């Protein structure tokens, strides 16, 4: 079993910054990807950014140039999301996500509990 713990959410004004942290713990034979999704009220959950094995990154278009996902240099099970120039449309609950390769034939996806980000004008 894998646990994901998020921190760093909060309320900021437009143009402000926040940094989210996600820490994975438990039995993790191999981490395929780790990243962030968000869900605004009344909308489906969407991918924000993810970092893959090999440190390739993927971003949703709306955050490119403003958000940066990175992995802790010492612990590859800790991932950060630096969010700059925040906009009201960035408001939502941000969920950490991890895909863990358990065996050669199976992978599992895990979710954190979510952390609220609110951007006000």
What stretch of H or E contains 51? strand 46-52
The single residue listed with the structure tokens 């605004």 is 40
pLDDT at 86 > cutoff 90: yes
Q: How confident is the model at residue 91 (pLDDT cuts 50, 70, 90)?
A: very high
Tokens of 5: 């713990």
pLDDT of residue 41: 95
What mean pLDDT do residues 87-115 have?
Answer: 95
Q: How confident is the model at residue 99 (pLDDT cuts 50, 70, 90)?
A: very high
pLDDT at 54 > cutoff 90: no
Q: How confident is the model at residue 60 (pLDDT cuts 50, 70, 90)?
A: very high
What mean pLDDT do residues 12-32 have?
Answer: 95
Contact 69, 51 (CB under 8 A): yes
pLDDT of residue 38: 98
pLDDT of residue 73: 81
- What is d(CA 55, CA 65) in angstroms, rounded to the nearest whole number? 17
pLDDT of residue 75: 84
């Amino acid at each position: 079993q894998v646990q994901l713990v998020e921190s760093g959410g909060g309320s900021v004004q437009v143009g402000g910054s926040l940094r989210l942290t996600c820490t994975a713990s438990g039995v993790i034979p191999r981490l395929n990807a780790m990243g962030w999704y968000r869900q605004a009220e009344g909308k489906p959950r969407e991918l924000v950014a993810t970092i893959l094995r090999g440190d390739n990154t993927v971003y949703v278009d709306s955050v490119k140039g403003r958000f940066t996902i990175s992995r802790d240099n010492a612990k590859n099970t800790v991932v950060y999301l630096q969010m700059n120039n925040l906009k009201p449309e960035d408001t939502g609950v941000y969920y950490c996500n991890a895909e863990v390769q358990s065996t050669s034939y199976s992978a599992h996806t895990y979710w954190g509990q979510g952390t609220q980000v609110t951007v006000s004008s």
